[in-house]
């Protein structure tokens, strides 16, 4: 029986570049996972009046913070004020301001009524007012697009993390 042993004196583990290799892999994983979750949230986000170009769906974006540090993190978010309400829903008793049609208050529902129901002017104001009252009286269920995107993809994210770990291990041994 012939036994052969090979010892290498090269590679990231021995030349001091291991931390950089690990950090690059971590940054790569967080970026990939964040982009993946962005797509998953967008798939679940309702298209409003402006479709994919504007409104809530158009406002969903991603950002990766602290690349190059051990605390790198990815965030999928929306800057729209009403994003949290659409995500979580609204309980009865809370709701849109109950302004009488014609007051200075402009209902955020008016563009929706224009587009979805084809109404404009005073008719749109009146219908938006009634919809706002109904929301206040009954509330509405949230869409949970952020929550579902994360919860329904735990397995996929774990697989991505494992693949990234294998890539890092391979890069460390080169």
With left for phi above 0 and alpha for psi between -120 and 50, is residue 3 left, alpha or beta? beta
Q: How confident is residue 54, by pLDDT bands cut at 50, 70 and 90? A: low
Select the more confidently predicted residue: 169 or 6: 169
Q: What band does 165 get if pLDDT is binned at 50, 70 and 90?
A: very high
The answer to whether the CB of 107 falls within 8 A of the CB of 128 is yes
- State the number of CA atoms in the 13 A half-sphere of 56 facing the CB: 21
Helix (H, G, I), strand (E, B) or coil at 64: strand
Per-residue model confidence (pLDDT) at position 24 = 96
Residue spans per domain, the chain:
11-89+141-173, 90-140
| CB neighbourhood size of 54 (10 A) | 14
Determine contact, residues 35/62, Cβ cutoff 8 Å: yes
Q: What is the mean pLDDT of the chain?
A: 87
Identify the top-confidence range among 30-44, 81-95, 120-134.
Answer: 30-44
Q: What is the pLDDT of residue 141?
A: 93
Split at pLDDT 50, 70, 90, the class of 51 is: low
- Residue scoring higher pLDDT (114 or 36): 36
Residue 114 pLDDT grade (very low, low, confident, very high; cuts 50, 70, 90): confident
């Amino acid at each position: 029986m012939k036994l052969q042993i090979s010892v290498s004196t090269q590679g990231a583990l021995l030349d001091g570049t291991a931390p950089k290799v690990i950090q690059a892999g971590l940054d790569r994983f967080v970026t990939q996972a964040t982009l993946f979750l962005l797509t998953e949230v967008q798939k679940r986000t309702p298209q409003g009046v402006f479709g994919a170009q504007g409104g809530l769906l158009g406002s969903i974006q991603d950002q990766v913070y602290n690349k190059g540090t051990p605390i790198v993190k990815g965030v999928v978010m929306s800057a729209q004020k009403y994003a949290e309400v659409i995500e979580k829903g609204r309980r009865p008793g809370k709701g849109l301001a109950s302004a009488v049609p014609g007051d200075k208050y402009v209902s955020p529902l008016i563009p929706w009524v224009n587009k979805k129901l084809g109404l404009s002017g005073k008719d749109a104001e009146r219908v938006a007012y009634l919809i706002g009252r109904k929301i206040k009286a009954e509330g509405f269920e949230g869409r949970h697009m952020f929550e579902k995107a994360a919860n329904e993809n735990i397995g996929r994210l774990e697989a991505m993390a494992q693949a990234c770990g294998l890539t890092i291990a391979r890069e460390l041994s080169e």
